[in-house]
Structure 1
Amino acid sequence: MNFKDYIRVIPDFPQPGISFKDITTLLQDGPAYRASIEALRELVKEKEIDLIAGPEARGFVVGAPLAYSLGVGFIPIRKSGKLPAETIEEDYALEYGKDKLAMHADAIRPGQKVLIADDLLATGGTISTSVNLVRKLGGDVVGAAFLIELEELNGRGKLDGIDVFSLLTY
């Protein structure tokens, strides 16, 4: 299946010069959505994975079904103030702004193997922050999986030593 056929590209969103890759058109097509999760599962299935962590919000729609298909748990990584129990937090820069991510302090036991999943790898800010959060809790990041990777932004460069799995590259 050519997954690029299911991705809508929106020029100049959210600001001029950005070519936004919209996955909502993939998500609304049941067979394509299922096939994309199955394809990601095939890319990462040889990894020993105890948990999948996904950053808010599109990491949830990739990470949770991937975790389900692999039979492992899912950890939501949220924006600051959104999780109800004790959290750890870290600031990070987006490609067009700044934010803070948080994870429950008891989400990972030391030594657990964690795959981070998201819809898109761009500059790597969100994912490298997610990696840092997992490592603060003693987790072993065994890889990062994405529907889309924007190669020209070199987000992979911020993930030195981490296996990166991408279904599509632009």
Structure 2
Amino acid sequence: MTQSFAPVVTEQTHAVSVAGFPVELPLVAIKPDLAISLMMVIDLGVRFGEHCGKALADQLSPMEPEIVVGAATLGIPVAIEASRALGLDRYVILQKSPKVHLGSALEQKITSITSKGEQRLLLDDRAVPLLKGKRVVVVDDVVASGSSLKGSIDLVRKAGGNVVGLGVILTEAREWESVLGPDAALVQGLAHIPQFRPGENGRWVARPETL
């Protein structure tokens, strides 16, 4: 029987410059042979969120988006700040748990590198008119496996939206490229982070990446 592995926050950090904003991210071992640098955007302050929103807006504005879509939970502040910086008022949040107002919702199953098991993305059917026929940019905090971002894209398209751009604060490793397929070309990121494997003396080292 396979034993479960409880994630462990290590003493190591990974430094990254997010469009010129330096942050130190803790390394978290999520498997015996795999660690990731964890970014909790809700813990990095208002100034960081505003900075990321403006930087993403600079990259996404040429696509002339009409509305921004983000997924709960950590995609919410990204969607708000990107919408604000783009001069847009409305945005749409995809939920991951049933709400009282989501009696009728479009649904897409996803998985996440930082969450256990299969999850669902839910789009309130009352938000469909906000997306149908509109130029949509989908934003999130990090793209790693690509499943969450792909699920968001699929839901927007089910609602009749035209996905013209994808914006993330961090791209992580390269798995997401094959998962997104042709849509990977739409991704605009502010910084890139590797994944990590065990090295010498109990240290974690960056895994080689295949371009």
Q: Where on the TM-score scale, by shorter chain, does this alignment land: which range?
A: 0.7 to 0.9
Shift of 1:83: 5.8
Query: SS of 2:138's equivalent?
Result: strand
After superposing on structure 2, the runs of 4+ consecutive aligned residues of structure 1 that deviate more than 6 Å are none
Runs of at least 5 residues in structure 2 that lack an aligned partner in the other structure? 1-15, 194-211
Deviation for aligned residue 1:75: 0.2
Shift in Å, 1:160: 2.7
- Report the CA distance between 1:78 and its aligned residue: 0.3
**Pick from 7, 18, 27: which aligns with 2:44?**
27
Q: CA deviation at 1:38?
A: 1.1
Report the TM-score when normalising by structure 2. 0.71
132, 135, 143: which is aligned to 1:113? 135
Partner of 1:157: 178
Q: In the alignment, which residue of structure 2 is the partner of 1:135?
A: 157
Report the CA distance shift for 1:168/1:83 in structure 2 as closer, same or farther (over 3 A).
Answer: farther
Task: Quote the Cα distance in structure 2 between the aligned partners of 1:159 and 1:124.
Answer: 6
Structure 2 residue 107 is the aligned partner of structure 1 residue 84: no
Show the counterpart of 2:81: 65
Q: How many residues align?
A: 167
Residues of 2 paired with 1:56 and 1:145: CA distance?
A: 15
- Separation in 1, partners of 2:52, 2:121: 26
Alpha-carbon distance, 1:65 to partner: 1.2
Deviations 1:98-131 (CA, angstroms, capped at 9, x unpaired)? 1111011131332111111000000111010111
1:150 corresponds to which letter in structure 2?
Answer: E
For structure 1, list consecutive stretches of 5 or more residues without a partner in the other structure.
none
Q: Percent identity?
A: 22
Distance 2:24 2:60 in 1: 22
Separation in 1, partners of 2:151, 2:42: 27
Give 1:54's aligned amino acid: G
Q: Normalised by the size of structure 1, how large is the TM-score?
A: 0.87
Describe the superposition over 1:36-86 as per-residue Cα deviations: whole angstroms up to 9, x where unpaired.
Answer: 221111111101211111001011011111112212221010013126143
SS of equivalent to 1:108: helix
